[in-house]
């Protein structure tokens, strides 16, 4: 991988396309490197999503253990697995760029007009304490809000990001969360 | 504290955003169940809704409207009665559940039926509870009705609007809230709680007729069980965790936790 990265450095003149995740492909997401062309938006997106996703993983873990409905528990478990790998990858990319993997303060894209994020510690705590009979509805509604917010963050990256792999990742975030939203709405009302 | 924000919002380019759809800055919340019209669009239950499909939380407009779109010109589809919005059959006491993507100080939550105020919940400018739902007595409004649910924001001039189509006090339908009314005589035969995961939109839960050597071709909208084998780009994979497949969860290096290459 070092050779690949070096090659890329040599060929990177700002506008050159980022390398494909090469054919001599990495065997795990942890080995995927982002490449050295990036801007502030890429960093911001990854930092925001790392924080957001850590909350999401907390929620998914509660969902996986408390949901009585198999379909809801399966979704929570699948999210847990995929997002755990994504989290590792995002942190690696930030580290690769020499950037912190944490944010100073959690922000909402609505903060300019006083909106708190959809997910705070209070929401996560409520999932632990809500009655069993109300758990599925509570989990689905809170996780819907959470994944809608991830789509919004991904769109920020797609608008102004520079790093090709980060933009590809943002597209996957947008698609997967949008489809999860669809699934969750069906689970709520099916 | 709100001043100390890691990223100035201006830096996020929220204002002059180049989004094709409306700016996500306008997105805050909606009624998810019983499903509002925007929730039906987002779920894919009602097709061809336009931009609202991707942002059901965005029906924001100045306070005081009685329209389904609140007067927001981006979402006129929500006012279109010719779309024959599916009505959810409910009892006379209905619990409305909200999804919030931003928690705003809240003046009130108001429910109207045919222009009549059916219920108001005053929040007195507080941040919403973690889980937002309201139980509303709609016994005065039997039959097919459209409920307008409004979230009046406390610290802006705006509100969020939702039309929820209901068949109130209807019989025969299954709803989350009407369990007790059905006579228990036919209980054993119906197992209402454990519907098979009616696989999502494109869901052609393909019976392996086109069975490739290592299993059928991966597709979105299919309910896969642990141990199921699929092929994707000529490679076979085994499912490691049951799930209903979605875009970007196809077998790849990014989904090794779901699909193990064989």
pLDDT of residue A102: 83
d(CA B255, CA A85): 8
Structural domain contains residue B165:
yes
- Does position B42 have pLDDT exceeding 70, yes or no? yes
Q: Which residues of B touch A130 (CB under 8 A)?
A: 131
Q: Determine, for residues A182 and B243 on separate chains, whether the beta-carbon distance falls below 8 Å.
A: no
The answer to the question of residue B98 being in a domain is yes
| Count of the separate structural domains present in chain B | 2
Please state the rounded mean pLDDT for residues B217-222: 96
Q: Which of A2-6, A60-64, B124-128 has the lowest mean pLDDT?
A: A2-6
Tell me if chain A has a CB within 8 Å of the CB of B51.
Answer: no
Share of chain A above pLDDT 90, in %: 72
In angstroms, how far is the first alpha carbon of chain A from the final one?
A: 47
Return the residue of B nearest to A41 by Cα.
B12
Instruction: Read off the pLDDT of residues B52-62 as tens digits, 9 standing for 90 and up.
Output: 999 999 999 99
Q: What mean pLDDT comes out for the span A29-50?
A: 93
For an interface test with A, the pick among B46, B97, B102, B159 (most A C-beta atoms closer than 10 Å) comes out as: B102
Q: What percent of chain B has pLDDT over 70?
A: 73
Domain that holds residue B94: 18-176
Question: What does the pLDDT read at residue B108?
Answer: 97
CA-to-CA distance for A91 and A46, rounded, in angstroms? 8
First vs last C-alpha separation in chain B: 53
Q: What is the pTM of this model?
A: 0.81
Q: What is the band of A3 on the pLDDT scale with cuts at 50, 70, 90?
A: very low
In a domain, B189, yes or no: no
Contact assignment for A186 to B43 by CB distance below 8 Å: yes
Interchain CB distance below 8 Å, A188 and B35: yes
Q: In terms of domains, do B22 and B138 share one?
A: yes
Please report the pLDDT score of residue A103 as a whole number. 76
Alpha-carbon distance of B203 to B53, in angstroms, equals: 19
- Whether B157 and B29 map to the same domain: the answer is yes
Strands B158-168 and B88-90: parallel
Does pLDDT of B242 surpass 60? yes
| Residue closest to B161 by CA, chosen among B83, B84, B52 | B52
A172 to chain B: which residues are within 8 Å by CB?
248, 254
Q: Say if strands B235-239 and B223-224 run parallel, antiparallel, or are unpaired.
A: unpaired
Do B226 and B100 lie in one domain? The reply is: no
Q: What is the pLDDT of residues A168-179, one digit of tens each?
A: 999 999 999 999
Residue B140 belongs to some domain of the structure: yes
CA B8 to chain centre: 31
Structural domains for chain A = 40-100+117-189 (1.20.1260.10)
SS3 (DSSP) at A148: helix
Helix axes A132-160, A70-96, angle to 10 degrees: 30
- For the cut 80, the answer to whether the pLDDT of residue B174 exceeds it is no
Between B148 and A103, name the one with better pLDDT: B148
pLDDT beyond 50 at B184: no
Check CB contact under 8 Å for A114 and B105.
Answer: yes
pLDDT tens track for B60-101 = 999 999 999 999 999 999 999 999 899 999 999 999 999 999
* Domain contains B104: yes
Res. A92: pLDDT tops 70 = yes
Nearest to A126 by CA among B68, B24, B131: B131
């Amino acid at each position: 991988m070092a050779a690949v990265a070096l090659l890329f450095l040599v060929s990177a003149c700002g506008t050159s396309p980022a390398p494909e995740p090469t054919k001599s492909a990495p065997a795990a997401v942890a080995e995927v490197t982002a490449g050295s062309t990036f801007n502030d938006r890429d960093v911001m997106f990854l930092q925001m999503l790392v924080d957001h996703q850590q909350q999401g993983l907390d929620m998914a873990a509660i969902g996986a253990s408390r949901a009585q409905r198999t379909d809801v528990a399966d979704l929570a478990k699948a999210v847990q697995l995929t997002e755990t790998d994504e989290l590792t990858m995002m942190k690696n990319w930030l580290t690769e760029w020499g950037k912190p993997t944490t944010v100073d303060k959690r922000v909402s894209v609505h903060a300019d007009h006083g909106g708190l994020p959809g997910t705070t510690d209070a929401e996560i705590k409520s999932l632990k304490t809500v009655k069993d009979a109300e758990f599925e509805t509570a989990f689905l509604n809170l996780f819907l809000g959470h994944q809608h917010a991830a789509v919004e963050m991904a769109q920020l990256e797609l608008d102004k990001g520079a790093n090709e792999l980060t933009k590809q990742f943002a597209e996957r975030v947008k698609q997967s969360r949008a489809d999860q939203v669809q699934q969750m709405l069906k689970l709520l009302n099916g | 504290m709100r001043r100390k924000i890691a990223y100035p919002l201006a830096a996020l380019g929220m204002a002059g955003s180049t989004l094709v759809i409306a700016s996500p800055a306008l997105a805050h919340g909606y009624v998810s169940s019983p499903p509002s019209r925007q929730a039906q669009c987002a779920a894919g239950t009602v097709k061809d809704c336009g931009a609202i499909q991707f942002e059901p939380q965005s029906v924001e407009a100045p306070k005081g409207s009685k329209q389904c779109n609140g007067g927001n010109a981006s979402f006129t589809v929500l006012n279109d009665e010719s779309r024959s919005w599916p009505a959810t059959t409910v009892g006379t006491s209905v619990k409305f559940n909200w999804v919030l993507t931003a928690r705003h100080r809240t003046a009130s939550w108001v429910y109207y039926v045919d222009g009549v105020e059916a219920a108001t919940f005053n929040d007195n400018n507080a941040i919403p509870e973690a889980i937002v739902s309201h139980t509303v007595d709609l016994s005065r409004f039997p039959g097919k009705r459209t409920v307008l649910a409004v979230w009046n924001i406390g610290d802006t001039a705006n509100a969020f609007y939702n039309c929820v189509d209901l068949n109130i006090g209807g019989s025969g339908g299954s709803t989350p809230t009407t369990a007790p009314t059905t006579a228990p005589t036919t209980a054993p035969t119906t197992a209402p709680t454990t519907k098979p995961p009616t696989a999502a939109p494109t869901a052609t839960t393909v019976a392996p007729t086109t069975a490739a050597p290592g299993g059928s071709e991966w597709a979105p909208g299919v309910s896969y069980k642990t141990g199921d084998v699929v092929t994707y780009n000529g490679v076979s994979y085994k499912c490691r965790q049951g799930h209903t497949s979605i875009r970007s969860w196809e077998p790849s290096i990014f989904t090794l936790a779901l699909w193990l290459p064989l």
